[in-house]
Amino acid sequence: MSRGVRGATTCTANDEKQMITNTRVLVEEMIEKNNIDPSDVSHVFISVTKDLTATFPAKALREIQGWTYVPVMCMAEIDVQNSLPSCIRIMMVVNTDKSQQEIKHVFHNEAIKLRPDLIKGDLR
CA dist., res. 7 & res. 22, Å (int): 11
Q: Where are the domains of the chain?
A: 2-119
Residue 32 and residue 110: Cα distance in Å, rounded? 21
- How many Å separate Cα 108 from the centre of its chain? 9
Neighbours of 96 (CB within 10 A): 18
Q: What is the pLDDT along the chain (124 residues), one digit of tens a residue?
A: 999 999 999 999 999 999 999 999 999 999 999 999 999 999 999 999 999 999 999 999 999 999 999 999 999 999 999 999 999 999 999 999 999 999 999 999 999 998 888 765 554 4
Please report, in range form, the residues annotated as the binding site for prephenate: 6, 89
Q: What is the pLDDT of residue 115?
A: 85
Which pLDDT score is estimated for 124? 43
d(CA 64, CA 2): 22
| Binding-site residues | 6, 89
CATH superfamily of 2-119: RutC-like (3.30.1330.40)
